[in-house]
Structure 1
Amino acid sequence: MYSLQTLPIELVHRIFDQLDIQTIIFSIRSTCKLLYAITNTYNRCALNFRYTSKSDLLLMSLIIDPKNVISLTLSDENETHSEIRFMFSHFHIDQFTRLRSLTLSNIKYDDLEKFQKHIMNYPLKRFSISSNILDSTKIATSISFILSHHNLREFEFDGSEQILNEIQWPVSCRLEHVTIAQWYSWSTVYFVLSHLTFLRALVLKDDSAGVSFKHSIITQYDIKQLCHLSSLSLNSRYNLTTDNIQSLLVHLPMLTHLRLIGLQHLSDIFLFDGFQWENFIEKKLSALKKFEFWFRKQLNPHEDNTTVESIISTFRTSFWLKTKGWFVKCDHVENRYGQQLYLYSTTICQDSFDYLNGENTILRSATNNMNNHSAVIINTQRLSLDLNKYISNDTQQNTNGTTQYLFQNVRELTLMIGSHWPMRSIKYLSTILNLSNLQIICLHCKHRSHIETHGLDAVIGTLFKYTLNLRSFQINCNNFQTMLSMSLNDICLKLPHHIKHLATDIINMNDAKMILERAEHLSNVTFYRRDTYSFADEINIWLRQHASDSICKVGRDFRFSSYNDELHFPVHIWLNNSLHKQSNTPVSEKRVKRTHYT
């Protein structure tokens, strides 16, 4: 008989590689003497403090040797207020001598400067940073210095155009993989490609607002062929054209992987023509092995279902089906905005996916391999889903023998709530996505829905049992009284201990206080209110009396209530639950209790 205790230490450590550090430290480590010792020798710790309470962070600083940490993720977002500076006060950052990956989210310049003093001594291979600091010059200077690290191979940037434009790419830079979360012009693409001679993969995500590419790429005749790039992923929130794409791709003859995502409606009909793509790829991208894309366009009222067949027929040549083995699907969809056409490769790869949110009805669907029974795999981190409509649609699709959609890597799930939860909804969810991967769930009450709350607490309880890695639970009640009552009694007061962040609408101050009184396991709570400042003042008074050192402030990101056309702003509360309320037990004693073994 084999058990965890009888496995070789190397295999146990391989199992640890698949677990979060909280599970390793607070669950496995305290089980027995053997696992206590094995945990202490584990030297591949990945610390992700995004949803870690300050109490847990403090305890981990006493238990974990920085020399055993290879990956570190820190954030100063709403859920993790002042986490980076708190980390500085409890860890010696100069002792992270084996750190290979560093992620800093919403970091301030002073905090980045502290890391910069030690970062060149780390064996760092991956560096990710997001920052919206107005003083772009200082941030850009620090980033430029870090990019000269001789071991650095992967860089991810999410920040303003000013910071991006002021980064000086060092001559010694040996980056092989670059991700830019917000790209603002085609010149950015050319600039990065021409300055990074070791670059193999470039990912351009476009999440910026208000940026419009009104002009085509101006072909730069002095740019040489960039044979070093083998993978390009380009997401555009604005209009892609054949000229723009082909003017770029002609300089990248050695591409083996290409991904093109057009998030808005496209007007260039040639993007939907398989013959055009076949001709271009054979002449200019002969090395291409993997081609992924997602295009959509608005249909004119006179266009009908035959449009789907006419488009998909251009992808049914031997080039697509035999030579390359690339499968394509085309959907004719109707919703309140009219009729659209979706053309995409399978598998679908997107950061966020809300195509099946309940508003869309598929009128006609076809694939180039003539097999509508095959499942479409959708690789996405964030999924929005109207459960009632989706189950109804899926049942109808299965009856008609059409496609089923499967979601493999969802981390953030938004569920639209109608008048009731469908029967066996949790079981059904478990068949289309891996619930154990979920870290964030948001319940969204639809406009003026009448919620049937009978048995909902049992449904939510079952959901929590399947989502043991869940760290954040969010509820958009739309100021609907039944939903507010349900969220308080059936959800907020019954959250399991592995959830560290709660966000919800709230009406009564007493309800807010009741949640805070029972929130010892939460690191932060966000309440949405209309009268935000008076509510925050009263919360601050209560915190001074019951939870010293906790912080409360009003946020800027508002939520629109479609129920009564009001704007609700967030009140963020960061709870100091470390050492537990009104407890005088020393930290060292609490560490012994937390790590006690039998």
Structure 2
Amino acid sequence: MVGFDKLPIELIHKIFNYLETYDIFVSFFNINTYMNTILNTYQRYNLNFKSISMSHFYITLHYINPSQVISLTLSNMYNTPGQFQLFFSSFSITQFIRLELLQLMQPLNSITLNQILIDLHTLSSLKSLSIIHCQPSSVNQETCLLLASLINSSTSLRRLYLSGALNTIFHYNITSSINDLYFNNNIFNTIILENIVSRMPYLKSLNTSITLNMNYTHLSSLIHLTRLTMTIFINMNNSDLKILLNKMPSLIFFNITANGKQWFNGNYWEQCLPLNLRTFQFNFCTQSIHINEQIVLETFQTPFWLKIKHWYVMFDCQMNPTMTHIYSLPYCDTQFYYRPSMNPSRKFRSSAPIVKPYMNNVKKLTIDFSTLITESNSSLASTHYFSNISTLILVDNEHHLSLQLLLNFLESIIDFTQIIELKLGQFHHSDFIHLLYNRLPQLYSLRISETIYSKLEMLNFNNIRSLNICDWLTNINRMIFMFPSIQYLCVRSTNFEHMRQMITLSEKSLRNVTFRHINHELQEQIVKWLYEYCDKHRQFSYNIDEHMNLHIWLSDSIV
């Protein structure tokens, strides 16, 4: 058998394409001279520092040669606070001469972000730039001016993913060859579509929101656009949307989310959708009193829908007690809000001839049991089955329900083996956690209220690595006993000694801490102590967000 270090260099490089950079270095560095040569000649390292441990972060920085990196993700999010500052104390963006993709998550200040944008002018291979989770306090007028200048001058940049804080970029004159744009697909978007289209006429893919009215007859045609994802937050006339779609003759993929009864008409969509459209994904809702279910469903059961396009829909009356939803199948979003009911008037109807798995895209499921309190709870059945749920959120609003009924119901609709995150912040049945916990073999993260936490039996939740307690936590020793392996802890505390104990007593496993809503004096006190404590034990970084949350990132040991 040929050893790995005897394989041709080209084959090993192809294998590296599927491995994390950290794993490559710790597994293969210094095996022999041949392997070191392979590591030093590989030119396609991907550095993704989102959610990385601080120790792995520093080890990767120690080994990496910036000129060999093609993709870089930096994050100042809650689990890696202060990462930008640590990274740029060792490197400059100008050193990453082969960089093709750069993702910046939650840059904290305009000084750092502006310098990055200045340095990006030196990179001739940059194809994709993402600046996301960016707060208004992190940008200034110069930021948007620098970004506009970069877009205008770059000959390689083709993809942009931008937060809403960068809205004003479209106030500048831009002449760009951007092909793919994701821009602020939420209600805070203040840029009309005309401003985007006039500055980026070569778009092939667009993901944005509509929050302002405009005259679509004056909009330039988007002849290159093949993919459109949009969320409509206004009461838009369906005639305006028809005009808009007529200006997109090459569209083959269309995803839309909107409210209003004007969208509950299959005949309308049959008339206005582009001829070459292959994929039509949608999720519409309106007040139930506005809808005749049978008439609406018939408009989505014509030969156009069932025979020509093979597009099927679900008529859903359980997502909200006063609203009716209709959505395409398979369900296209990764999140789903489900309010099960045994009321026969709150039902589902589908145009699909055979019920096939249609919820496989859903990763995050919220189930609200509160409507069951007014109904007989002797039995409960569901139309849906969710096979790929990683995050499960349960809500009961303090109603008393049969725990066995709930357990049987959940087992009938969810594959428990896929769940890694369980959120029970608005769930009040502590006994149910015991029933559920042993059925979730992959459970990694738990969010509970302090009320539930205080009622839990003294069990060992050894699998839990991430613990979020929604309220104040006082009994520290109890937490350490029940959750001996936590790496991330999020709590609310107003007591310095409690905060200090949480870090010191969990130091063998703890990597991230968030103390929520703490005042300025307590922030200074805990940060001062951290400098003294970590000087002897480990390294750390931190930041304080706009909600007065203190986020701390800790290394395993001194590195």
CA distance in 2, matches of 1:481, 1:359: 38
Match of 2:394 among 392, 412, 416: 416
The answer on whether the counterparts of 1:442 and 1:475 sit within 8 Å (CA) in structure 2 is: no
The answer on whether the counterparts of 2:417 and 2:441 sit within 8 Å (CA) in structure 1 is: no
Q: State the Cα distance separating 1:275 from its structure 2 match.
A: 1.2
Secondary structure class of the residue paired with 1:463: coil
CA distance in 1, matches of 2:414, 2:17: 24
The residue number in structure 2 matching 1:595 is none
Match of 1:503 among 465, 490, 495: 490
The residue number in structure 1 matching 2:347 is 364
Secondary structure class of the residue paired with 1:160: helix
1:126-205 equivalences under 5 Å are 126-130=128-132, 131-134=134-137, 136-147=140-151, 148-160=153-165, 162-170=167-175, 173-182=176-185, 188-205=192-209
CA distance in 2, matches of 1:193, 1:295: 25
The answer on whether the counterparts of 1:96 and 1:122 sit within 8 Å (CA) in structure 2 is: no
TM-score by length of 2: 0.78
Secondary structure class of the residue paired with 2:202: coil
CA distance in 1, matches of 2:86, 2:385: 46
Q: State the Cα distance separating 1:14 from its structure 2 match.
A: 4.2
The answer on whether the counterparts of 1:69 and 1:98 sit within 8 Å (CA) in structure 2 is: yes
Structure 2 vs 1, CA of residues 477 and 96 (structure 1 numbering), >3 Å: closer, same or farther? Answer: same
Structure 2 vs 1, CA of residues 528 and 425 (structure 1 numbering), >3 Å: closer, same or farther? Answer: farther
CA distance in 1, matches of 2:18, 2:343: 39
CA distance in 2, matches of 1:30, 1:42: 13
Q: State the Cα distance separating 1:185 from its structure 2 match.
A: 6.5
CA distance in 2, matches of 1:341, 1:533: 46
Asked which structure has the greater RCO (Cα within 8 Å, sep 6+), the reply is 1
TM-score by length of 1: 0.73
Cα deviation, 1:528-556, whole Å, max 9, x if unaligned, reads 36x64565455345424422374566544
CA distance in 1, matches of 2:310, 2:7: 42
Q: How well do the aligned residues superpose, as a CA RMSD in angstroms? A: 4.3
Secondary structure class of the residue paired with 1:348: coil
Structure 2 vs 1, CA of residues 520 and 488 (structure 1 numbering), >3 Å: closer, same or farther? Answer: closer
Structure 2 vs 1, CA of residues 129 and 315 (structure 1 numbering), >3 Å: closer, same or farther? Answer: same
The residue number in structure 1 matching 2:514 is 526
CA distance in 2, matches of 1:425, 1:38: 54
* Structure 1 residue identity aligned to 2:349: A
1:36-435 equivalences under 5 Å are 41-107=41-107, 108-115=109-116, 116-130=118-132, 131-134=134-137, 136-147=140-151, 148-160=153-165, 162-170=167-175, 173-182=176-185, 188-205=192-209, 213=212, 216-221=213-218, 223-262=219-258, 266-267=259-260, 269-281=261-273, 285-300=274-289, 307-333=292-318, 335=320, 338-350=321-333, 353-356=335-338, 363-371=346-354, 373-379=355-361, 382-384=364-366, 396-397=380-381, 402-407=383-388, 413-416=391-394, 431=415
Q: State the Cα distance separating 1:231 from its structure 2 match.
A: 1.4
CA distance in 2, matches of 1:426, 1:31: 50
1:561-576 equivalences under 5 Å are 570-575=549-554
Cα deviation, 1:110-159, whole Å, max 9, x if unaligned, reads 32343323443241111111333455321111111221310111111113
The answer on whether the counterparts of 1:103 and 1:127 sit within 8 Å (CA) in structure 2 is: yes
Cα deviation, 1:237-274, whole Å, max 9, x if unaligned, reads 44444133223222222211111112xxx23x231111
* Structure 1 residue identity aligned to 2:466: F
The answer on whether the counterparts of 2:246 and 2:272 sit within 8 Å (CA) in structure 1 is: no
CA distance in 2, matches of 1:52, 1:488: 23
Cα deviation, 1:90-113, whole Å, max 9, x if unaligned, reads 124323121110112233333234
Is residue 546 of structure 1 aligned with residue 533 of structure 2?
A: yes
Structure 2 vs 1, CA of residues 480 and 340 (structure 1 numbering), >3 Å: closer, same or farther? Answer: farther
The residue number in structure 1 matching 2:459 is none
Structure 2 vs 1, CA of residues 293 and 186 (structure 1 numbering), >3 Å: closer, same or farther? Answer: farther
Structure 2 vs 1, CA of residues 481 and 464 (structure 1 numbering), >3 Å: closer, same or farther? Answer: same
CA distance in 2, matches of 1:76, 1:245: 38
CA distance in 2, matches of 1:270, 1:426: 35
Stretch moving more, 1-10 or 156-165: 1-10
* Structure 2 residue identity aligned to 1:58: Y
The residue number in structure 1 matching 2:457 is none
Secondary structure class of the residue paired with 2:163: strand
Structure 2 vs 1, CA of residues 456 and 20 (structure 1 numbering), >3 Å: closer, same or farther? Answer: farther
Is residue 444 of structure 1 aligned with residue 424 of structure 2?
A: yes
Secondary structure class of the residue paired with 2:337: coil
The answer on whether the counterparts of 1:445 and 1:478 sit within 8 Å (CA) in structure 2 is: no
Secondary structure class of the residue paired with 1:310: helix
CA distance in 1, matches of 2:544, 2:24: 35
* Structure 2 residue identity aligned to 1:405: F
Secondary structure class of the residue paired with 1:94: helix
Cα deviation, 1:286-345, whole Å, max 9, x if unaligned, reads 121111111011212x97xxx43332221111111121121211111265xx33211111
Secondary structure class of the residue paired with 2:156: coil
Secondary structure class of the residue paired with 1:276: helix
Cα deviation, 1:64-102, whole Å, max 9, x if unaligned, reads 121221111112334333322221121243231211101
The answer on whether the counterparts of 2:394 and 2:424 sit within 8 Å (CA) in structure 1 is: yes
* Structure 1 residue identity aligned to 2:338: L
* Structure 2 residue identity aligned to 1:120: T
The answer on whether the counterparts of 2:192 and 2:214 sit within 8 Å (CA) in structure 1 is: no
CA distance in 2, matches of 1:152, 1:471: 42
The residue number in structure 1 matching 2:452 is none
Secondary structure class of the residue paired with 2:222: coil
The answer on whether the counterparts of 1:101 and 1:124 sit within 8 Å (CA) in structure 2 is: yes
CA distance in 2, matches of 1:509, 1:461: 35
CA distance in 1, matches of 2:492, 2:4: 44
* Structure 1 residue identity aligned to 2:300: F
The answer on whether the counterparts of 1:334 and 1:361 sit within 8 Å (CA) in structure 2 is: no
Secondary structure class of the residue paired with 1:516: helix
CA distance in 1, matches of 2:30, 2:228: 47
Gap runs ≥5 in structure 2:
446-462
Secondary structure class of the residue paired with 1:376: coil
Secondary structure class of the residue paired with 2:223: coil
* Structure 2 residue identity aligned to 1:519: E
CA distance in 1, matches of 2:101, 2:371: 41
CA distance in 2, matches of 1:357, 1:479: 29
Structure 2 vs 1, CA of residues 417 and 274 (structure 1 numbering), >3 Å: closer, same or farther? Answer: closer
CA distance in 2, matches of 1:486, 1:452: 20
Structure 2 vs 1, CA of residues 92 and 556 (structure 1 numbering), >3 Å: closer, same or farther? Answer: closer
CA distance in 2, matches of 1:2, 1:368: 56
The answer on whether the counterparts of 1:405 and 1:432 sit within 8 Å (CA) in structure 2 is: no
* Structure 1 residue identity aligned to 2:549: P
